[in-house]
Amino acid sequence: MNNLVSLKELRTKLTNYTKRVSERGDSFIVLKKSKPVFKIVPIEEDSWETVADFTKIDTTGVSFEDVKKAAALLA
């Protein structure tokens, strides 16, 4: 079942809605001025493709700037 949420409420409680989608699998239709504008749904694991695994480089993560510089070198 889809839940309705206003854009204003989504903005103010984004962390809460993010957890509900990622941890519980909830879906939401977001309304602006009582009209649906987009839908938030969890990503299906089998549809996700890993483009690059940076955990082998640094387990704490890699900064976006470093990724951007590396991509520029490959272009």
Percent of the chain whose predicted confidence (pLDDT) is above 70: 87
At 32-64, the pLDDT tens digits run 999 999 999 998 877 667 667 777 777 777 788
The model's pTM is 0.60
Residue type at 67?
V
Q: Span 22-35, mean pLDDT? A: 95
Residue type, 19: K
Listed in sequence order, the DSSP H helices in 1-75 are: 7-12, 14-19, 64-74
Tell me if the domain spanning 3-42 has CATH number 3.40.1620: yes
Query: Which pLDDT value is given to residue 61?
Result: 72
The two tokens of residue 42 are 């969890």
Provide the pLDDT confidence category of residue 2 given band limits of 50, 70 and 90.
low
